[in-house]
Amino acid sequence: MRKIIISLCLLGTMALSGQEITLDKIYSGYYRGNGIAGIASLKGGENYAVIEPTGIAKYCYKTSQKAGNIVDGSFESYIFSDDESKILLLKESEPIYRHSFLGKFDVKDLKSGTVISLNNGDFVQEPTFSPDGTKVAFIADNNLYYQDLNSQKITQITADGQKNSILNGLADWVYEEEFGHARQYEWTKNSDAIVFIKSDETAVPEMYIPIYNKQLYPSEMRFKYPKAGETNSTVSAQLYRLDSGKVTALDLSGFKNYYLPNVFRTAKSDEIILITSERTQNASDVLKVNTKTGKITKLFTETDEKWVDTDNVTLEFLEDNSFIWGSERDGFRHLYWYTPDGKLKKQITKGNWEITDYYGYNPKTKEVLVQTTQKGSINKVVSKINIQNGKSAIISNTEGNNRANFSGNYQYFIETSSTAARPFTYILKDGNGKTVKELQNNNQLLQKLQADNMVTREFFTIPNNAGDQMNAWVMKPKNFDPNKKYPLFMFQYSGPGSQSVSNSWDGGNGLWFNHLVQQGYIVACVDGRGTGYKGTKYKKSTYLNLGKYETEDQITAAQWFGRQSYIDADRIGIFGWSFGGYMASLALTKGADVFKVGIAVAPVTNWRYYDTVYTERFLRTPQENPKGYDENSPTEYAELMKGKFLLIHGTADDNVHFQNALEFSEALIQNKKQFEFMAYPDKNHGIFGGNTRPQLYQKMTDFILQNL
């Protein structure tokens, strides 16, 4: 399960006037911001590429001037070969699930100008250059291939791929969703072998979803979806050598081998890394594969009393084949340095803060480039940290949310920065953080919003009953009167490791919240136990009881607000999407005496209906922990509902199935509870397309105005 990022600016710009933030303005694109797409450093680190309407453009870091187009045309994305002599261009795509898509690609030789259509111009998935740039591997119809770019010959590596049965080098639905990627193969550094994961999902139960689409008889979307406690794909690691043309199964019998989520390349020829796990995700083996002999060596095992974040792996091999690894083992996510044979050399970073992103290693300065919470859990800064002496320097803004795209030599980076009060800016800086030039800003957007009386978030903390200080923000009307009583509308997501209270720009729901504030509401958000960036004690306190403490903390927060002189304690509502919708459902049942109104969009209503990898990571299986499932599922508490409740779901949701809404509806009906239900035909977990989002947000706005 991933947090739904809700973007409201979908349509073309229209000049609309007035002094209020309206839904019409939001959906006309009036508040659309500026950005820079597809930033990538070029070889040598002196230039960078971006996607522009006319092609893939080249810019100079030193002067920030455009040097022309590398390739002319309209492209969705691009990938360079390691030596940058060739470029892989995505011309057309069709989405499948969250990360996967079918694409039509061209390969252009930048020296000769020759253009080759990959796979004869037919759709492929997950194409990747070999490190020597002479070949491109890809997947078609669940089989793995590679195409020689000199002869254009296509070699088929596997032949047993079949929909809803066998996948080669490609993640199944649950791997893609919960491990965060679709590609499950990797080239060796010397381009002579590929290690890939084969998934046999034959025994996985099948989910089918009716697709209406104005058809006389609905068609069906059928795919394999393992629900908590059910059968997963049987996975195996396979070695393909180009010289022999043979595929050999790797023997993982002496290691953890139930899940095989990650395949990495090392800095040495003839080596591949596999990261593996058992079904209980509290330990991961880091295995080295010798691709000449097939021999497997365990480097080390990462363990945790509760769970290891198998969906968030930081691993980089340095020139000497030592490597950097990210771990939460000391209670915060930090970096560790290992020898090539898996012996710990040292912990690189320490402190009551976390590494939130990893950008790379500069061998000249012996520094890692990272994003951290060194300036507080609601802020993200970019730092360089020496791996030998631990010396650290922040090189970005020290406030707000900052991320970086570094040049190949780490002498420059493009800083993308925002705060709750300032939309994104894109600034070119040198390696020490000195500004070279502002490349893009959103001053016009900010001026429009300020003219329309935008309010910004105020950050503070609220105590919970466990003695924690929960991060929170509040948005108050511009003419706020402390002597007046205001209705309160709370928003949250609350999922494990997530963050909704962040000092960053919110150009999606943030605009809608401003609209609600202008209608006389106070809007607030609280990150309770289970959320991220405050250490593992806080994040993992919900283990085996997913939803219990998160709900208690939202109730506690609502009660705290209710005691404030400016809040009407009888008019408190709550809203959330996905995990947040699950929480809103629990709030209107377990917290029925506190919350008057709730809106749940695409909620899980019983964890038995959700997938194996995500649910079991936090709850284990229903067979092991039935109480953890049943005591934290809204379907079990329907009789407690008192307030006004709006339930919303897309009928074609492949992630949190429509079944969740129907089962909760039936539980409410059988308990004679009145509620509103909005179904969106053929819409997935994001519920968008055409006028869907404008209608959805108008529906929710009207519900709030009428009931809160």
The string of pLDDT tens digits covering residues 621-669 is 999 999 999 999 999 999 999 999 999 999 999 999 999 999 999 999 9
Residue 652 to residue 555: CA distance in whole angstroms: 32
Q: DSSP class of residue 347?
A: E
Q: Which of 704, 675, 680 is nearest to 693 (CA)?
A: 680
Surface-to-core class of residue 559, CB atoms within 10 Å of its CB (0-12 exposed, 13-18 middle, 19+ buried): middle
Residue 13, pLDDT score: 32
3-state secondary structure of 275: strand
Question: Quick one: average pLDDT of 285-292?
Answer: 98
pLDDT exceeds 80 at position 257: yes
Q: What is the pLDDT of residues 454-482, one digit of tens each?
A: 999 999 999 999 999 999 999 999 999 99
pLDDT exceeds 90 at position 4: no
Residue 14, pLDDT score: 33
Q: Cα 333 from chain centroid?
A: 17
On whether the CB atoms of residues 617 and 667 are closer than 8 A, the answer is no
Q: What is the pLDDT of residues 552-575, one digit of tens each?
A: 999 999 999 999 999 999 999 999
Residue 558 to residue 543: CA distance in whole angstroms: 23
On whether the CB atoms of residues 600 and 478 are closer than 8 A, the answer is no
Q: What is the pLDDT of residues 184-217, one digit of tens each?
A: 999 999 999 999 999 999 999 999 999 999 999 9
Residue 286, pLDDT score: 98
Residue 620, pLDDT score: 98
Residue 468, pLDDT score: 98
pLDDT exceeds 50 at position 302: yes
Under the banding of pLDDT at 50, 70 and 90, the label for residue 8 is very low
Percent pLDDT > 90 in the chain is 96
On whether the CB atoms of residues 428 and 441 are closer than 8 A, the answer is no
Residue 677 to residue 699: CA distance in whole angstroms: 11
Residue 230 to residue 613: CA distance in whole angstroms: 10
Taking every pair of Cα atoms in the chain, the longest distance, rounded to a whole number of angstroms, is 80
Cα separations (Å) of 551 from 359, 546, 615, 632?
A: 35, 9, 17, 9
Apex 119 CA angle, 114 and 125, nearest 5: 115
Residues of the chain by 3-state class (helix, strand, coil), percent to 5: 15, 35, 45
Residue with tokens 């119809």: 141
Q: DSSP class of residue 162?
A: B
Interaxial angle between packed helices 509-518 and 692-707, expressed in degrees from 0 to 180 and rounded to the nearest 10:
30
Tokens linked to 284: 């991961």
pTM of the predicted protein model: 0.95
On whether the CB atoms of residues 290 and 298 are closer than 8 A, the answer is no
pLDDT exceeds 80 at position 6: no
Residue 114 to residue 149: CA distance in whole angstroms: 10
> Which neighbouring-strand residues pair with 247?
240
pLDDT exceeds 70 at position 45: yes
Average of per-residue pLDDT values in the chain: 96
Residue 126 to residue 136: CA distance in whole angstroms: 10
Residue 694, pLDDT score: 97
Residue 474 to residue 166: CA distance in whole angstroms: 50
Q: What is the pLDDT of residues 154-163, one digit of tens each?
A: 999 999 999 9
Residue 146 to residue 130: CA distance in whole angstroms: 9
Residue 483 to residue 565: CA distance in whole angstroms: 7
Pairing, β 597-601 against β 567-577: parallel
Rg (CA), the chain: 26
Surface-to-core class of residue 702, CB atoms within 10 Å of its CB (0-12 exposed, 13-18 middle, 19+ buried): exposed
Residue 3, pLDDT score: 55
Q: What is the pLDDT of residues 82-115, one digit of tens each?
A: 999 999 999 999 999 999 999 999 999 999 999 9
Q: What is the pLDDT of residues 338-390, one digit of tens each?
A: 999 999 999 999 999 999 999 999 999 999 999 999 999 999 999 999 999 99
Tokens linked to 2: 């991933």
Q: Which of 704, 664, 660, 706 is nearest to 685 (CA)?
A: 660
Residue 16, pLDDT score: 41
Residue 202 to residue 264: CA distance in whole angstroms: 27
Q: DSSP class of residue 434?
A: -
Question: Quick one: average pLDDT of 249-259?
Answer: 97
Q: What is the pLDDT of residues 419-448, one digit of tens each?
A: 999 999 999 999 999 999 999 999 999 999
Question: Quick one: average pLDDT of 61-89?
Answer: 96
3-state secondary structure of 328: coil
Residue 2, pLDDT score: 57
Tokens linked to 700: 């929710």
> Which neighbouring-strand residues pair with 360?
369
